[in-house]
Amino acid sequence: MGYTIAAKLLDIEAIKLNLDNPFTWSSGWKSPIYCDNRLSLSYPETRTLIKQALASTIKKNYPSVEAIAGVATAGIPQGALVAEELGVPFIYVRSKPKGHGMENMIEGKITEEQKVVVIEDLVSTGGSSLKAVEALREAKMEVLGMAAIFTYGFDVADENFENADVSLVCLSNYGLLIEEALKRGYVSDDQIESLKEWRNNPGSWKQ
């Protein structure tokens, strides 16, 4: 399934690879890859594949799930689709409390001790994802784990999730992506080493 998801994301150009003119992330990192899984929502076949794959992954890894929580913003539509597929309640978690009204950070009905799985579209360092987990735990919900469409597989993310005691399962990852890109001729054998170098040292790549 991981290769299939990677192939679909490449097909719709949700994932772009460019080593000659790398993208600049908000962190300032130079990156040969840009991943925008929001594009999948505009392609019904891909959208359905991802929805069903996430639902199946959750059933397998978190069978006692009672609710789905999407991480704002990109995890909200994906999470709503998955909650509908599973037939369970849906809530979402803001990056910070709303600045007016009830000043909620979690939107939807909060049920204490309810078993919830968090949905994220993309995991890089895991910082924003784990903030959502923290908010849910503070609301006394039981976080079973997190499911995401794609992860870069950075060591710092693995450490962050381990330290926060959060299980993470992803449909596809960076390693599968570059293998698929190589098979399709999107990148050459010579470029693979540079792509692997970025994966291991993203902060210092091409600095």
The answer to whether the annotation marks 8 as part of a ligand binding site is: no
Q: What H or E segment, with its residue span, contains residue 119?
A: strand 115-123
Judge residue 194's burial from the number of C-beta atoms within 10 Å of its C-beta, 0-12 exposed, 13-18 middle, 19 or more buried: middle
What is d(CA 45, CA 4) in angstroms, rounded to the nearest whole number? 12
The answer to whether the annotation marks 126 as part of a ligand binding site is: yes
The pLDDT assigned to 186 comes to 87
The answer to whether the annotation marks 123 as part of a ligand binding site is: yes
The answer to whether the annotation marks 125 as part of a ligand binding site is: yes
The pLDDT assigned to 14 comes to 95
The answer to whether the annotation marks 94 as part of a ligand binding site is: yes
The answer to whether the annotation marks 128 as part of a ligand binding site is: yes
Average pLDDT per 10 consecutive residues for the chain, totaling 207 residues: 92 92 86 94 98 98 98 96 98 79 81 98 93 96 98 94 98 94 89 90 80
The answer to whether the annotation marks 98 as part of a ligand binding site is: yes
Q: Between β-strands 15-17 and 33-35, what pairing exists: parallel, antiparallel or unpaired?
A: antiparallel
* Closest of 150, 161, 155 to residue 200, by C-alpha: 155
What is d(CA 27, CA 125) in angstroms, rounded to the nearest whole number? 11
* Closest of 153, 167, 173 to residue 62, by C-alpha: 167
The answer to whether the annotation marks 109 as part of a ligand binding site is: no
The answer to whether the annotation marks 189 as part of a ligand binding site is: no
Count of alpha carbons within 13 Å of 147, Cβ hemisphere only?
Answer: 27
The pLDDT assigned to 102 comes to 53
What is d(CA 76, CA 78) in angstroms, rounded to the nearest whole number? 6
The pLDDT assigned to 25 comes to 86
The answer to whether the annotation marks 111 as part of a ligand binding site is: no
